[in-house]
């Protein structure tokens, strides 16, 4: 009964969200979706929010953020499951969506940073057979930094990748600390140009730095 009640609640929430998105209040509909993403408790919840952003992308065809956030939510969905095959499915979809965002907004630091994050996670599923994704991720992160070196998410993502890489392979907290501290410093002064622009990661950067000490 409790599961049924939860399901009905989710259906009502997302029905309301879809109606909201169709009222052409683009910023409010995006922010509403981001709030729902924060509340996601499992991969299915995050995937539902990704679907919501996909619906916005179909109508707001000149806006890059809906496809970006659809990719972000599918990235998150993959992080919330332990099934490697399911991770792959979510992240393959996310890579397609980030390319859709890139087609709308070329040379965008935020898009390249998230793409680099996704490529690294694709590699992490099977490191020995997917080293090509490591090179692709590094290239995406380099492009992100070249476009906007003040983007704090670049340093968070790179630092996080190193943090979770085993020390035997050149990673670990000690190696990641400097990048994560740079991320915290840049988050302190970062302000998104628009309310709907990416503004995630500050809390995570602080938590990871604390774990490095």
Residues 34 and 81 in one domain: yes
Is the CB of residue 55 less than 8 Å from the CB of residue 14?
no
Q: What pLDDT does residue 1 have? A: 40
Give the model's confidence band at 213: pLDDT under 50 very low, under 70 low, under 90 confident, else very high: confident
Give the model's confidence band at 204: pLDDT under 50 very low, under 70 low, under 90 confident, else very high: very high
Calculate mean pLDDT across residues 4-12. Answer: 44
What is the maximal distance between C-alpha atoms in the chain?
53
**Domain housing 154:** 150-213
Q: Which residue has the higher pLDDT, 9 or 159?
A: 159
Cα atoms found within 13 Å of the Cα of residue 199, Cβ hemisphere only: 14
Rounded to an integer, what distance in angstroms lies between the CA atom of residue 59 and that of residue 18?
12
Domain membership flag for residue 113: yes
User: Tokens for 145?
Assistant: 């930094």
Residues 34 and 139 in one domain: yes
Residues 172 and 82 in one domain: no
Domain membership flag for residue 6: no
User: Tokens for 127?
Assistant: 């490191």
Residues 129 and 37 in one domain: yes
CATH code for the domain of 49: 1.25.40.10
Q: How many domains does the chain have?
A: 2
Which residues have C-beta within 8 Å of that of residue 52, sequence separation ≥ 6? 14, 17, 18, 21, 33, 36
Q: What pLDDT does residue 14 have? A: 54
Which residues have C-beta within 8 Å of that of residue 101, sequence separation ≥ 6? 64, 65, 67, 68, 71, 108, 111
Residues 119 and 139 in one domain: yes
Q: What pLDDT does residue 5 have? A: 41
Residues 92 and 137 in one domain: yes
Rounded to an integer, what distance in angstroms lies between the CA atom of residue 60 and that of residue 45?
23
Give the model's confidence band at 120: pLDDT under 50 very low, under 70 low, under 90 confident, else very high: very high
Q: Which residue has the higher pLDDT, 14 or 45?
A: 45
Calculate mean pLDDT across residues 44-48. Answer: 97
Q: Which residue has the higher pLDDT, 51 or 2?
A: 51
Residues 161 and 123 in one domain: no
Q: What is the DSSP string of 41-70?
A: -SHHHHHHHHHHHHHHHHH-TT-SHHHHHH
Q: What pLDDT does residue 2 have? A: 46
């Amino acid at each position: 009964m409790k599961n049924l009640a939860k399901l009905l609640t989710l259906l009502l929430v997302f029905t309301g969200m879809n109606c909201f998105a169709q009222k052409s209040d683009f910023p409010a509909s995006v922010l509403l979706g981001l709030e729902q993403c924060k509340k996601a408790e499992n991969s299915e919840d995050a995937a539902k929010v990704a679907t919501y952003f996909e619906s916005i992308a179909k109508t707001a065809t000149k806006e890059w953020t809906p496809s970006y956030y659809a990719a972000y939510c599918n990235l998150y969905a993959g992080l919330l499951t332990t099934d490697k095959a399911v991770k792959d499915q979510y992240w393959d979809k996310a890579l397609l969506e980030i390319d859709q965002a890139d087609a709308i907004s070329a040379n965008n630091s935020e898009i390249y940073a998230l793409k680099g994050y996704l490529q690294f996670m694709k590699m992490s599923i099977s490191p020995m057979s997917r080293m090509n994704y490591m090179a692709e991720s590094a290239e995406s992160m380099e492009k992100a930094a070249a476009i906007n070196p003040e983007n704090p998410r670049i340093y968070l993502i790179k630092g996080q990748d190193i943090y979770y890489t085993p020390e035997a392979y050149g990673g670990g907290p000690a190696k990641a600390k400097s990048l994560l501290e740079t991320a915290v410093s840049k988050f302190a002064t970062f302000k998104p140009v628009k309310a709907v622009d990416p503004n995630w990661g500050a809390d995570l950067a602080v938590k990871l730095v604390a774990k490095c000490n």
